[in-house]
Amino acid sequence: MSLQPVKFYQTGTFTVGNRLLDESLRTVQANMQRTNSLNSGHRACQGCGEALGARYAIDAAMRATKNRVIATNATGCLEVFSTPYPETSWQIPWMHSVFGNAASVATGIAAALKVKKKSDVRVIAQGGDGGTTDIGFACLSGMFERNDDVLYLCYDNEAYMNTGVQRSSATPPGARTATTPAVGIHPGNAFGTGKNLPLIAMAHQIPYVATASVANLHDLEAKVEKAMGICGARYIHIYVPCPLGWGSSPSDTIKVARLAVETGLFPLFEAEHGEIVSRIPIRNKVPVEEYLKLQKRFAHLFGEDRSAIAMIQEIADRNIRKFGLEEA
Amino acid sequence: MKKPFAITLDPGSSLANHTGSWRTERPVYVDRLPPCNHACPAGEDIQGWLYHAEGGEYRKAWESLMKNNPFPAIMGRVCYHPCEGACNRGKLDESVGIHAVERFLGDEAIRRRWLPEVTAEPSGRHVLVVGSGPSGLSCAYHLRLMGHQVVIMEAESRAGGMMRYGIPQYRLPRDVLDAEISRIASMGVEIRLNAKVADIMDVIEGYDAAFLAVGAHIAKRAYIPAGDASRIIDAVSLLHGMEENSATLLGKRVVVYGGGNTAIDAARTAKRLGAEEPLIVYRRTRERMPAHESELQEAIEEGIRFKWLSTVKRMEEGSITVEKMILDDAGFPQPTGEFETIGADSLVLALGQESELDLLKSVPDIETANGSVKVDSSMMTNHPGIFAGGDMVPSEKTVTAGIGHGKKAARNIDAWLRNEKFSPPEKHEIASFDMLNTWYYSDAPKIRQKALDLARRQSTFEEVIHGLSEENALFEARRCLSCGNCFECDNCYGVCPDNAVIKLGPGSRFRFNYDFCKGCGLCAAECPCGAIQMVPESI
């Protein structure tokens, strides 16, 4: 019996799978044969968004390349919790670089593959926001500028979590970290600091830049798959909540990520050669309080003076305007 | 193996590291009770049959439905669907049109001549059912499925009870009624028509048990002084007469006295017989009217008028006199002494019904009160082996409740015949709205069933509400949130950061791998339908 005329599938494509949908429209993660590139037994905290984001992205890349992937990994949580010598959770060829040079090591691997004429093997570099936006930035910018054939995946949990939650240049304004304590007249991370790496990557005019979130698996997988079909330098910035560093409940990891998108604080978009080509519209717009109140790193904003919340709301509103997140 | 410089250990897998030991809470898969199922007086597993309908497996859906209710085509039309009032989707946009899907399945079964199978071994036991209304037929159906021989004795010339003699054709077409009754007969249930039971003791010999379901066919009367030429009839006779092709002459100006569904049925029938704007007089307010809102709405659409807070004092030729009432603090209507005269050619009384209990005259141990029979929690009267249900026992007096009584009685009779006691399985916790993660459901407004053209609703007895097309029924079924019951969306399997959910394949759901589950609770939080519960580990 053909089910296609009815274009309504109970949960549509919001869930990971959907028994009513054609197999090809379900996610890689719904598949019983997914590669589980990052296997069980890793030492990430309960409800780790980065472990989830890494498996989502690498499994999708594995399917897109028929399992022909080599990955490098900057120092950081992902490297530490996945591979304490001599054990590893990775089920792919994987190489730990140092903190700052994951992009350069990946460039080297890509060059070696070219020499060996193995064009079917693709290279991925991955790192956290610290290893990407701060320590590894020079190497990354060089990789972009040379248009090396590497996909760089940044798992953004908005601080140095592995070393004890210190501020990075991806830490959002107002957030409490070990180095931006919630004291003084302007508690938490200062407003007006930090950098937006997806926009910087776009400024390099590389073939493909995208943002993705663990709260939108279909979108994340589609972006990784698209990136694996492109040659040259590519960059995907994946939003991965950190229950430990953010002071959120481990069971709220996806909820927090979803609210970051639905408030407008983390816009989901794609850019090709420096130009934005698509964005995911907000489904149910919510005020930033809903997002902030789930995280202890923002608890100090909920005192008598709520001006910081208003400023964060302004950031969200500006994103919504700038990226056109309310247009269908 | 020669190791590289400075390497002393073989590479190992993290699978050696059983992170399950970190856990303080463990997720477990549960099946919670969907509110629709909880609200159904017939005890249907609504979420269960919708699950099959969602996949387009209508035959399976129908078979699942038929486990609890032999009349989907009838119920899809006449049930007041308390399920939809309880539906969690109502808090999201609008409740699922359960009755419309049920009707679609019922009509599909009639069209395709699907038949239920009796697979039970013949028990050799005989049960007598008195009355072929919804309750009696339902009881007979379930007893037959359990392998018993059943004979139904029916006083009227046709089977169906109040479904035929109380519910007008524009709500329940008779071909639908006949089809679903004949399906029960085809299973081997013998229905003896024109077989009024005057005394149960005269006929019970040869039967191992009996189920009484004679309904409530006697109209309650109120004393209303009336002149010789005035026309007062009761609604039960009016509706009954419609089936005997002897429509009562009512005249142009018809007043119906009462506020229940029967009053509405009588007024809408009067309209179709040619009355101009029938008037319903009710002693309380619209809010306190026992009639169902949907019926009230349809009646208003058809031009039925209402006079609230009024009682009929007397009738003269061509008019009635009503007294205005006010509600006291307790909500009871109190007379005001203000009177009004209203033109009326006839007055139809719809003031409730009682059962005719003459058949119990030789069984004095059966307790009766207020025109109904007392039964215990197993539907058995004080007389061992004689059970009763439907409108003749205290209940809400709907078709659905009657069908539920029949099923419950059948299960208890079956147990009683084996000298056992039927104990219903323990009910699961209700899947309330706050247990759902509704983010995941697609937005979808309810599909409205089309209604018959208003002009034809006022002059013919054609069915008013139309059925859904297959496409619409499928859409409506898919609006189900599957509250409390896994529908294999793969969310738990996908969102586990530790790959600790094992997917067992289509239809087999999932299993947790507690060796690696750290107990973060993401699976439970992201389960759309609330089918995962976190329970504390014993440490």
Q: Which residues of A touch B475 (CB under 8 A)?
A: 6, 8
With b meaning 16 or more CB within 10 Å and e meaning fewer, what string describes A213-227? bbbbbbbbbbbbebb
Chosen for mutation from A1, A7, A11 (greatest number of chain B CBs closer than 10 Å) is: A11
Q: In angstroms, what separates the C-alpha of A137 from chain B's closest C-alpha?
A: 28
> Is B515 contained in some domain?
yes
| B281 and B382 co-located in one domain | no
CATH number at residue B525: 3.30.70.20
User: Tens of pLDDT along chain B (539 residues)?
Assistant: 688 888 888 889 999 999 999 999 999 999 999 999 999 999 999 999 999 999 999 999 999 999 999 999 999 999 999 999 999 999 999 999 999 999 999 999 999 999 999 999 999 999 999 999 999 999 999 999 999 999 999 999 999 999 999 999 999 999 999 999 999 999 999 999 999 999 999 999 999 999 999 999 999 988 888 877 678 999 999 999 999 877 778 889 999 999 999 999 999 999 999 999 899 999 999 999 999 988 999 999 999 999 999 999 999 888 999 999 999 998 899 999 999 999 999 999 999 999 999 999 999 999 998 889 999 999 999 999 999 999 999 988 899 999 999 999 999 999 999 999 999 999 999 999 999 999 999 888 787 888 888 888 888 889 999 999 998 999 999 999 999 999 999 999 999 999 999 999 999 999 999 999 999 999 999 999 999 999 999 87
Taking domain A36-323, whether its CATH number is 3.40.50.970 is answered by yes
Partner residue opposite B506 with nearest CB, options A3, A19, A258? A19
| B274 and B322 co-located in one domain | yes
Of the three residues B297, B315, B349, the one that is the final residue of a domain is B349
| B234 and B343 co-located in one domain | yes
Q: In angstroms, what separates the C-alpha of A113 from chain B's closest C-alpha?
A: 23
| B163 and B73 co-located in one domain | no
Q: For chains A and B, count residue pairs whose Cβ atoms are closer than 8 Å.
A: 162
> Is B466 contained in some domain?
yes
Partner residue opposite A253 with nearest CB, options B442, B474, B522? B522
CB contact under 8 A, A40 and B489: no
| B274 and B343 co-located in one domain | yes
CB contact under 8 A, B497 and A49: yes
> Is B164 contained in some domain?
yes
Q: Are A30 and B490 in contact (CB under 8 A)?
A: yes
Domain that holds residue B198: 126-217+355-417
Q: Which residues of B touch A88 (CB under 8 A)?
A: 11-14
Of the three residues B349, B374, B406, the one that is the final residue of a domain is B349
CATH number at residue B205: 3.50.50.60
CB contact under 8 A, B499 and A36: yes
The ipTM value here is: 0.95
B241 token code pair: 């007469």
> Is B426 contained in some domain?
no
| B50 and B106 co-located in one domain | yes
Nearest-Cα residue of chain B relative to residue A29: B494
Q: Which residues of B touch A25 (CB under 8 A)?
A: none
Q: Are A290 and A242 in contact (CB under 8 A)?
A: no
CB contact under 8 A, A14 and B440: yes
Of the three residues B330, B349, B368, the one that is the final residue of a domain is B349
Nearest-Cα residue of chain A relative to residue B474: A6
Partner residue opposite A88 with nearest CB, options B11, B488, B500? B11
> Is B169 contained in some domain?
yes
> Is B6 contained in some domain?
no
Q: Which of B532, B480, B475, B526 is nearest to B90 (CA)?
A: B480
| ∠ CA A182-A185-A186, rounded to 5° | 60
| B236 and B316 co-located in one domain | yes
CB contact under 8 A, A41 and B13: yes
What residues does each domain of chain A span? Answer: 36-323
The total domain count for chain B is 4
